[in-house]
């Protein structure tokens, strides 16, 4: 026997539905303000900047900056499919690890392909020196790290990099397969507002 709904129940459900729609419209009106003048936030002049820096992935030694938090799901995948590493890697001005520290790459990378060596990367580049001290940019994308040149997207930023967008090219300049350590050159091309108000 198929259950039926009475007219009273139907009207009650209709009333609840219409109330929730009206509430959600009021809620949206409360949060959505009128369009703003960009000048109020110092967003007048957009510029394109090129940043070159070196990313140091250190898996070995007493103070590794890349830690495995999830192992590969199976030995049958040569790609190491499923593993995840959390990172707090140094970003330096030159290839030498002892060169000027510009900031830290904080985030994670994971093996996201079953049949190819390709990493899913999600990182914040947090700058700790110079003009951009306290600012950060967010990078995301696919990194088939055995290829000579790879590309990630710049999907946002903070501080002087608010509303940032662009891309980064990656090129491995040093690798130690036995230890798992690597140095990667990042060339980042990024649109951002030169005169953004810094609140940090």
**Is residue 39 a part of any domain in this protein?**
no
Among 80, 124, 86, 81, which Cα is nearest to 108's?
A: 86
Distance between CA atoms of residues 70 and 73, nearest Å: 8
79-137: pLDDT as tens digits: 678 788 999 999 999 999 999 999 999 999 999 888 888 999 999 999 999 889 999 99
- Confidence label for 197 from pLDDT (cuts 50, 70 and 90): very low
Instruction: Mark whether 146 and 105 lie in a shared domain.
Output: yes
Tokens describing residue 67 = 């830690």
Give yes or no: residues 60 and 123 share one domain. Answer: yes
Local structure of 10: helix, strand or coil: helix
Residues 62 and 22 in one domain: no
| pLDDT band at residue 22 using 50, 70 and 90 as cut-offs | low
122: its two tokens: 């999600």
My answer on whether 78 and 158 are in the same domain is yes
Shared domain check, 159 and 72 = yes
CA distance 184 to 145: 10
SS3 for 192? strand
* Number of C-beta neighbours around residue 76 at 10 A: 8
Please give the tally of structural domains in the chain: 2
Which range marks the domain in which residue 23 is found?
7-31
Q: Are residues 27 and 63 in the same domain?
A: no
Does residue 159 sit in the same domain as residue 66? yes
How many residues are present in the chain? 200
Tokens 């003009």, residue located: 131
Q: Which CATH number do you get for residue 117? A: 2.40.480.10
Does residue 146 sit in the same domain as residue 189?
A: yes
Domain-embedded: residue 65:
yes
Average pLDDT value for residue range 18-47: 65
Give the model's confidence band at 155: pLDDT under 50 very low, under 70 low, under 90 confident, else very high.
very high
Instruction: Indicate whether 108 and 150 sit together in one domain.
Output: yes
One domain for residues 101 and 16? no
* Residue 121 belongs to a domain: yes
Q: Is pTM, for the whole model, over 0.75?
A: yes
* 188, part of any domain: yes
Tokens of 78: 């040569």
Query: Do 99 and 22 share a domain, yes or no?
Result: no
- Give pLDDT, residue 5: 59
Is pLDDT above 90 for 195? no
> Which is higher by pLDDT, 122 or 20?
122
In this structure, the answer to whether residues 60 and 13 fall within a common structural domain is no
Q: Is residue 41 part of a domain?
A: no
Rounded Cα distance, 86 and 23, in Å: 42
The 3 state secondary structure assigned to 12-34 is HHHHHHHHHHHHHHHHHHHHCCC
């Amino acid at each position: 026997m198929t259950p039926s709904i009475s007219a009273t129940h139907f009207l009650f459900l209709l009333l609840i539905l219409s109330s929730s729609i009206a509430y959600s419209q009021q809620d949206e009106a409360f949060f959505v303000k009128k369009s703003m003048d960009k000048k109020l936030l110092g967003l007048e002049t957009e510029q394109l900047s090129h940043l070159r820096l070196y990313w140091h992935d250190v898996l070995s030694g007493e103070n590794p900056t890349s830690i495995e938090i999830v192992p590969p799901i199976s030995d049958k995948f040569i790609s190491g499919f499923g593993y995840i590493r959390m990172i707090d890697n140094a970003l330096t001005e030159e290839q030498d690890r002892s060169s000027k520290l510009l900031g830290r790459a904080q985030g994670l990378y994971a093996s996201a392909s079953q049949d190819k060596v390709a990493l899913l990367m999600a990182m914040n580049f947090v700058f700790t020196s110079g003009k951009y001290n306290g600012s950060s940019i967010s990078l995301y994308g696919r990194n088939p790290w055995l290829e000579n040149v790879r590309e990630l997207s710049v999907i946002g930023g903070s501080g002087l990099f608010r509303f940032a967008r662009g891309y980064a090219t990656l090129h491995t300049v040093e690798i130690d397969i036995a230890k798992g350590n690597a140095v990667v050159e990042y060339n980042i091309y990024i649109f951002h507002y030169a005169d953004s108000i810094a609140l940090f």
